[in-house]
Structure 1
Amino acid sequence: MCIKLDENSEESRIKIEHFSGELLLIAGGDDQLWPSDQMVKDIQAHRPAENTEAIVYPGVGHSIGGAVQTDQLILGGTEALNRAAYEPMMERIIAFCQK
């Protein structure tokens, strides 16, 4: 994994709980670039549930809808799962933005 959470992660964490608007969080459960699924859980822990929606796609990598790796990075997931998650993710983003 390129980026790991460390013992100073609380100090470097963006204090998103100060944002009062609605928030949609999306992550791949097999993200190999950084621990986005854990980051989603951490953000949820600091936000009111009524205006925070989180979606973690199991087995999906960093590039939802895209490649498993590039020439220089392993992004995780499988091509089939990454592709399968793309359309439902986009539908959820559009619905969220239309609220």
Structure 2
Amino acid sequence: MPQVVTFRFTPSYLGTIKGAELHTLDGAWAVLGGVSGARTQGHVLLAQLTTSGPLSFQFNVQIGLPDGSFQRYVYADPEPGEIVHTTLRQTVAWEPTR
């Protein structure tokens, strides 16, 4: 059974946030033990959000591979062995629908 773990991140407040910002610096959460999705493309939902204003995010992602190794994707400033993926950093502004 997969296990969700956190690092420098306390998820207990996620269902109670009424403010304008959810922020963590050097925090992480992960699923250990492997998971399989409904599709074979390997798509993962990182967030499902509702907002009435602009949204910005920056992600670094580490993916564990079946052989025990991993691949790291970063939004900027890669270290050796990391891959820059520009879609991991976005700022989106839109007008709410009425």
- Give the alignment's TM-score, normalised by structure 1: 0.30
Normalization by structure 2: what TM-score? 0.30
* Structure of higher RCO (CA pairs closer than 8 Å, 6+ residues apart): 1
Higher helix share: 1
Structure of higher CA gyration radius: 2
